[in-house]
Amino acid sequence: MAAAGSDPWRVGFVGAGRMAEAIAQGLIRAGKVEAQHVLASAPTDRNLCHFRALGCKTTHSNQEVLQTCSLVFFATKPHILPAVLAEVAPVVTSEHILVSVAAGVSLSTLEEPPSGQLLPPTARVLRVSPNLPCVVHEGAMVIARGRHAGSSEAEFLQTLLEACGQCEEVPEAQVDIHTGLSGSGVAFVCTFSEALAEGAIKMGMPSGLAHRIAAQTLLGTAKMLLQKGQHPAQLRTDVCTPSGTTIYGLHALEQGGLRAATMSAVEAATCRAKELSRK
């Protein structure tokens, strides 16, 4: 946020999809920025109406966002981003902090794409990799900074994004791993939650109740791991008793190869993210 007595930060969004809306909503509800100081652009009103419902300002001009806001999130589809950068480049200044939310687009591509320099050579560029739970302000995000973004910009962005969940700075090489672990991991966890519930349904529990309890079990376990700082193995051990129900269930999971399958899923998703980044 701006220092006391200075003008408030104005935050812009080029692209107004679900992730952009989730970040804007998190910043506003946490009091990090006032809705009237948020400006979002998109080609049509289809998504901009969600920003207007939050009290934000909207436009169809990407350049207007850069001319109005110092901190700008680029939340377009990856294949559209190069054209958008070329469009706004003439109005980018040294005052801007530019943050890409586009999956698979490297910092080097943002700073100096193969087609030639688009942004000013000293542009302060960062990359953020969010995941879908940002929508409920429980996201897991990582940020990586470009050549001309310093620790102050990274810390500022990290502080802002913590309104949407957990946010940590990492080397860019770990961003694709985050995609495999946390971006794709949402689907892996949902698959496990569904399987847990279906096991209970098989044993006679009503479907709705089983799915609610499975989801709450995942939520409660995650909170314990984060708040207590325990290694998962410790909490797992705490739940096990000799000849009890849990060790019998864990034996069945090991027979099914749960660990190996999960590790392979993260590896496969990470490799695919790296492949898309190269393309």
Contact 70, 91 (CB under 8 A): no
Q: Annotated binding residue at 113? A: no
Residue range 140-152, pLDDT digits in tens:
999 999 999 999 9
Which phi-psi region, left, alpha or beta, contains residue 55 (left: φ > 0; alpha: ψ -120 to 50)? left
CA–CA distance, 32 with 162 (Å, rounded to integer): 10
Q: For residue 6, is pLDDT > 60?
A: no
Mean pLDDT of the chain: 91
Q: Which residues lie below 8 Å from residue 50, measured CB to CB, with a gap of 6+?
A: 16, 21
Band of pLDDT at residue 108, cut at 50, 70 and 90: confident
Residue-range domain boundaries for the chain: 11-171, 183-278
Band of pLDDT at residue 35, cut at 50, 70 and 90: very high
CA–CA distance, 61 with 80 (Å, rounded to integer): 15
Q: Annotated binding residue at 62? A: yes
For residue 57, what pLDDT is reported?
A: 96
Q: How large is the average pLDDT for residues 65-79?
A: 94
Residue range 153-199, pLDDT digits in tens:
999 999 999 999 999 999 999 999 999 999 999 999 999 999 999 99
CATH pick for 183-278 out of 3.40.50.720, 4.10.1240.10, 3.30.420.10, 1.10.3730.10:
1.10.3730.10
Q: How large is the average pLDDT for residues 210-222?
A: 97
- CATH T-level assignment (fold) for domain 11-171: Rossmann fold (3.40.50)
Tokens, residue 27 = 């910043």
Q: Annotated binding residue at 77? A: yes
